[in-house]
Amino acid sequence: MATHDYVIANGTGAAVRSDLNGALAAIVSNNSSATQPATMYAYQWWADTTAGLLKIRNSANSAWVTLFELDGTLVASDISLGAGTVGAPSLFFTGDSNTGLFSPGADTVALVTGGTNRVHVTSGGLVGIGTTLPSNQLTVGANGLSSITLDWTGDNAAKATFSANHSTGEVRIGATNNSGTYFTTLYSNNNEAVRIDSSRRLLVGTSTDQGTSILQVQGEAGAATAAGVLYLRRGLTTAQIGANVDADLGKVQFGANDGTVAAHIQCLSDATWGSTSDCPGRLVFSTTADGASSPTERMRITSGGQVLINRTSVVSGFNSTLSLDYTTGTQYGFTLRNTAASTFGAIVFVNSSNSLVGEISVSTTATAYNTSSDYRLKENVTPVPDGITRLQQLKPSRFNFISDPDKTVDGFIAHEAQAVVPECVTGEKDAVDDDGNPKYQGIDQSKLVPLLTAALQEAIAKIEALETRLSALEAA
């Protein structure tokens, strides 16, 4: 190792020769030394043995420029290249001058192959693959289909793919395990939230399918709200819905893949919405009739819990829980079928104390209309008095109803029968509702049977007494 000032001083032959040898030694060793040469020149070499670097003096002879490490490693930070172009990158490979690295602009670098920009890194750190205008930290662009594939080394079957079709707007996310089974999963808070399994079932909140349904929603295990919930919402706030009665809040449709709709279940606002604690809604069930192309409402459940079948409002004057319209062409309005071998209560009537007060029971051969009559429910039991006298006060009549003028029937006028047997009639004579509409009376003619029976028993007793007297007279 040697350095030299490269000035040959005058002297004897031996001294000059020694000085020349020192200069030559410094030249051949690139001024190798642990410290920089005492005398320095522009473009002078220095093998810095302390730092292990090969350096050259700059043109102004004011500083050293590091080129290589002494073991041959390139110190890239100290190498300056021209910007280059996409067709002629400044850093390329021997025999392939249009593949390499160039700078499209200030603080920007690009990787090209075959004269085409493949990877573009902007001054802001945005990376574009297949595009020179990245809009995110990583943007993948292509004419048609863009995709990213994660392929595990040594396992060609297992891979993940993310792709987007610019023409159709289609986005695909998928993965295949090492057995070739395809599935997709999305995670939230480091837990699996959504999975599309190999059978294309959408599983939310679970990774295990139960059954064959395409959509399965499961609540969080162990959570207070563990039930699976499917929430359909309108894109408006409660205040925005406001007076918009009949606002469509959500719908489930059923049909074929060509757009036909065979039926749907729909939720609508049922009245004005005032606040988040005042948001009445109704459910509507609709089906498409044979020969029709769109659904028609068949049943609704109102915000008040009323069930309406084949109609959209309660029957005027009757605030019923269940309202059903008999449809022309339908043979029966309501059917109850007994499939058991014994009698059962088809319809039962219960009071507020949960006690049975009546029923319609059906056997395999007959129907019975029953009202509660057990002796254990009664007190102050006495015979019916004056059966014949009271019976004679009844006024059986023949008449027709105004709505059916061609049909004459036998019966009673309600208020006339009420005067004799009050319990057989409901309502009051000439009553009207708050709007002045008539509230018509009704009669349960079965309530006349006890009076008819008492009168008949009295008549039989009189007949038997007369027969006894007649027999005595005939015998005398």
> How many Å apart are CA 76 and CA 67, to the nearest integer?
8
Evaluate if residue 1 carries a pLDDT over 70. no
Average pLDDT over residues 416-436: 94
Question: For 136, phi and psi rounded to 5 degrees?
Answer: -135, 180
How sure is the predictor about 432, in pLDDT bands with cuts at 50, 70 and 90? Answer: very high
Q: What is the pLDDT of residue 406?
A: 96
3-state secondary structure of 305: coil
For residue 18, give the H/E element and its range.
helix 13-28
Token match 């894109």: residue?
A: 235
Q: Which two tokens stand for residue 237?
A: 């706030």
- In 3D space, the residue among 445, 460, 463, 457 whose CA is nearest the CA of residue 394 turns out to be 445
> How many Å apart are CA 173 and CA 431, to the nearest integer?
72
Q: What is the pLDDT of residue 256?
A: 93
Q: What is the pLDDT of residue 330?
A: 67
Average pLDDT over residues 396-415: 96
Alpha helices of 322-448 — where are they, by DSSP H?
A: 387-391, 414-420
Higher pLDDT, 341 or 422: 422
Under a CB-based contact definition with an 8 Å cutoff, are residues 476 and 450 in contact?
A: no
Question: Could you give the strand order of the β-sheet that contains 64-69, starting from the edge strand earlier in sequence?
Answer: 45-48, 53-57, 64-69
Q: What is the pLDDT of residue 183?
A: 75
* pLDDT tens by residue, 224-257: 667 888 889 999 999 999 998 999 999 999 999 9
Q: What is the pLDDT of residue 154?
A: 59
Average pLDDT over residues 273-284: 93
Q: What is the pLDDT of residue 218?
A: 87
> How many Å apart are CA 470 and CA 19, to the nearest integer?
181
How sure is the predictor about 221, in pLDDT bands with cuts at 50, 70 and 90? Answer: confident
Evaluate if residue 437 carries a pLDDT over 90. no
Token match 């009665």: residue?
A: 245
Question: What per-residue string of b and e applies to 151-181 under the rule 16 or more CB within 10 Å gives b?
Answer: eeeeeeebeebebbeeeeeeeeeebbeeeee
CA dihedral 301, 304, 307, 312 (to 10 degrees): -70
Average pLDDT over residues 279-287: 96
How sure is the predictor about 22, in pLDDT bands with cuts at 50, 70 and 90? Answer: confident
382-476: what CATH class? mainly alpha
- Of 85-99, 112-126, 222-236, 426-440, least confident by mean pLDDT is 222-236
Q: What is the pLDDT of residue 418?
A: 96
Q: What is the pLDDT of residue 180?
A: 63
Q: Which residues contact 326 (CB under 8 A, 6 or more apart)?
A: 310, 333
- Of 121-135, 188-202, 262-276, least confident by mean pLDDT is 188-202
* pLDDT tens by residue, 140-173: 876 666 777 777 655 556 677 777 777 777 777 7
Average pLDDT over residues 261-270: 96
Sign for the pseudo-dihedral over CA of 382, 385, 390, 396: positive
For residue 149, give the H/E element and its range.
strand 145-151
- Of 62-71, 145-154, 252-261, 458-467, least confident by mean pLDDT is 145-154
> How many Å apart are CA 285 and CA 293, to the nearest integer?
16
Measured from the Cβ of residue 220, the count of other Cβ atoms closer than 10 Å reads 14
Instruction: Please list the residues that pair with 369 across neighbouring strands.
Output: 360
How sure is the predictor about 339, in pLDDT bands with cuts at 50, 70 and 90? Answer: confident
Alpha helices of 125-272 — where are they, by DSSP H?
A: 238-241
Under a CB-based contact definition with an 8 Å cutoff, are residues 58 and 42 in contact?
A: yes
> How many Å apart are CA 305 and CA 314, to the nearest integer?
12
How sure is the predictor about 41, in pLDDT bands with cuts at 50, 70 and 90? Answer: very high
> How many Å apart are CA 437 and CA 127, to the nearest integer?
79
Question: For 330, phi and psi rounded to 5 degrees?
Answer: -90, 130
Beta-sheet pairing, 409-411 with 64-69: unpaired
Question: What per-residue string of b and e applies to 393-404 under the rule 16 or more CB within 10 Å gives b?
Answer: ebeeeeeeeeee
How much is the pTM? 0.64
Summary mean pLDDT of the chain: 88
* pLDDT tens by residue, 345-380: 889 999 999 999 999 999 888 999 999 999 998 999
Under a CB-based contact definition with an 8 Å cutoff, are residues 177 and 192 in contact?
A: no
How sure is the predictor about 127, in pLDDT bands with cuts at 50, 70 and 90? Answer: very high
Question: For 390, phi and psi rounded to 5 degrees?
Answer: -70, -35
Evaluate if residue 76 carries a pLDDT over 60. no
Q: What is the pLDDT of residue 100?
A: 94
Q: What is the pLDDT of residue 125?
A: 92
* pLDDT tens by residue, 8-19: 888 888 888 988
> How many Å apart are CA 37 and CA 23, to the nearest integer?
12
Q: What is the pLDDT of residue 396?
A: 96
Over pLDDT 70: what percentage of the chain?
94
Token match 């023949």: residue?
A: 398
Under a CB-based contact definition with an 8 Å cutoff, are residues 125 and 138 in contact?
A: no
Evaluate if residue 223 carries a pLDDT over 80. no
Q: What is the pLDDT of residue 385?
A: 92
